[in-house]
Structure 1
Amino acid sequence: MTQRRAQLAANLDQVQGRIARAAASAGRDPAEITLVAVTKTYPASDVVLLAELGVTDVGENKDQEAKAKAAEVRAAGAVPRWHFVGQLQRNKARSVARYADVVESVDSERLASALDKAAQDLRDAPLDVLVQVSLDGDPSRGGAAADLAATVEAVAGAPGLRMCGVMAVAPAGWDPERAFERLAGIAQQVRADHPEATVVSAGMSGDLEAAILHGATHVRIGTSLLGMRNLLR
């Protein structure tokens, strides 16, 4: 555990350095940018260590893994802010609403409605939501495209949800700067109607610099922070 903590600390230092340099290049304050540690496939013990190292936000993409991990981490006394970042089926809405603090992958009116009902039934406060944007219109990767405006309005009008902003993944084969420049324009349009929607979740281990250049407030980092799983086991 001591060796793993040292490894995570070193990786975290490197990632934070990249964020700071990218922010400086963009003329931004690095304090504006939240690191979301994507811990899918990694054990709850890693989440606890990251929390001890000061990481406040954790991302997961599969409900079955996430709900068990959240319970284990809570039992260990750590209380990170949980982001659900994967594609979400409506029949999992109630489960996710029990432990997630943020759902970043709402991409349809029907999913917004299911989450709204679950949040109203299960929570004392609205569930924070980001609308996932499809930048290339490919439905296999999730994200709203032609129905983006309707999805945004569905989230904004749902009493159980809080419309916080947008999320996207750079499409395979795209220049990340092109992708995140497009997302920045969409985010600006959303904020024009919903000024509270200030979050832009974009950028991962390979392209966080481009995301920060184009206004990302949250970057979702897995490999650069936790390492390649097959090298750890």
Structure 2
Amino acid sequence: MSSPPEDRLAELRDNLAAVRSRIDQGCLAAGRSSQEITLIAVTKFFPVTDAALLAELGVTDLGESRDQDASVKAAELAEHTSVAVRWHFIGRLQRNKARSVARYADLVHSVDRQSLAEALEDGARRAERPALDVLVQLSLDDDADAKAPTGRGGGAADELMRLADRVAGSEVLRLAGVMAIAPLKGDPDQAFSRLAEVLQRLRENHPAADVVSAGMSDDLEAALRHGATHVRIGTALLGRRPQQFR
């Protein structure tokens, strides 16, 4: 049984205060300002009413990872709140979903291959959008079969740079920066340190690519130490996902 709206609002308010405190403390320890950080509430698997409550609490950047849910939620949210929000698509994206995502996403975090960049480009044109912001995704996984360009080895880093150049050369896509996810096992500091190295190289050719989407509920402090500008928070903010999605 779901909580009454007033109980859920109080729960989200308390969770938000705790997350913002972690961001403040993490930035203080890293010698940064928390004003530099964008908190993205990952609302996947949670109802649109939660998204509306978060928007009313001042969290206006919302993340989703499945187009079939995100497209509906983006359309429905206007019925629940008048607060303007930014939608972030953060999940692995199939080419056949790119046209749909290009209609509502303000920032696509997970561009990991040229064919996807081309599909988003086509979707943005069809939606008559003047520009669609995207991030190139860097895999920090030690798995050699990782789908996204990996941060280990010069050749793979070169692949990421070629993808970034492809995006930057588009008339309708804008290279906003890079996204990465730390491996489930291992030291997130080491992983995000590799991200920082690749990012430095990326910015030599693309200085305006200043978004660094890294850090989640379990590792946001490590991400902040290594330059994250956007943190993607789900569990710490909304709680455990509903039973049917566990």
Using structure 1 for the length normalisation, give the TM-score.
Answer: 0.95
Give the counterpart letter for 1:38 in structure 2.
V
Cα-to-partner distance string for 1:177-207 (whole Å, 9 max, x where unaligned): 0011110111111111001100100000000
Gaps of 5+ in 2: 151-155
Give the counterpart letter for 2:175 in structure 1.
M
Say whether the 8 Å CA contact 2:62–2:86 is kept in structure 1.
yes
- Measure the CA separation in 2 of the matches of 1:4 and 1:28: 32
Q: CA deviation at 1:115?
A: 0.6
Judged with a 3 Å threshold, the aligned counterparts in structure 2 of structure 1 residues 5 and 148 are, in CA distance, closer, same or farther, namely same
Q: Give runs of aligned pairs for residues 1-233 of structure 1, distance below 5 A.
A: 1-76=5-80, 77-136=82-141, 138=143, 142-145=147-150, 146=156, 147-230=159-242
- Measure the CA separation in 2 of the matches of 1:138 and 1:51: 37
Cα-to-partner distance string for 1:65-110 (whole Å, 9 max, x where unaligned): 0000111102323421000000001111100001100000000111
- Measure the CA separation in 2 of the matches of 1:231 and 1:18: 27
Cα-to-partner distance string for 1:18-43 (whole Å, 9 max, x where unaligned): 00000000000000010000010000
Percent of pairs with identical residues: 55
- Measure the CA separation in 2 of the matches of 1:140 and 1:47: 35
Q: CA deviation at 1:229?
A: 2.5
Judged with a 3 Å threshold, the aligned counterparts in structure 2 of structure 1 residues 137 and 114 are, in CA distance, closer, same or farther, namely farther
- Measure the CA separation in 1 of the matches of 2:27 and 2:197: 19
Say whether the 8 Å CA contact 2:62–2:85 is kept in structure 1.
yes
Q: CA deviation at 1:217?
A: 0.2
* Larger displacement relative to structure 2 (155-164 or 137-146): 137-146
- Measure the CA separation in 2 of the matches of 1:205 and 1:211: 11
Cα-to-partner distance string for 1:100-152 (whole Å, 9 max, x where unaligned): 00000000111111111111221332100000001236477642232212211
Say whether the 8 Å CA contact 1:144–1:151 is kept in structure 2.
no
Say whether the 8 Å CA contact 1:135–1:170 is kept in structure 2.
yes
- Measure the CA separation in 1 of the matches of 2:204 and 2:10: 44
- Measure the CA separation in 2 of the matches of 1:140 and 1:66: 28
Say whether the 8 Å CA contact 1:131–1:144 is kept in structure 2.
no
* Larger displacement relative to structure 2 (147-156 or 95-104): 147-156
Gaps of 5+ in 1: none
- Measure the CA separation in 2 of the matches of 1:223 and 1:119: 31
Paired residue total:
233
Give the counterpart letter for 1:185 in structure 2.
E
Judged with a 3 Å threshold, the aligned counterparts in structure 2 of structure 1 residues 72 and 140 are, in CA distance, closer, same or farther, namely farther
Judged with a 3 Å threshold, the aligned counterparts in structure 2 of structure 1 residues 142 and 66 are, in CA distance, closer, same or farther, namely farther
- Measure the CA separation in 2 of the matches of 1:37 and 1:167: 16
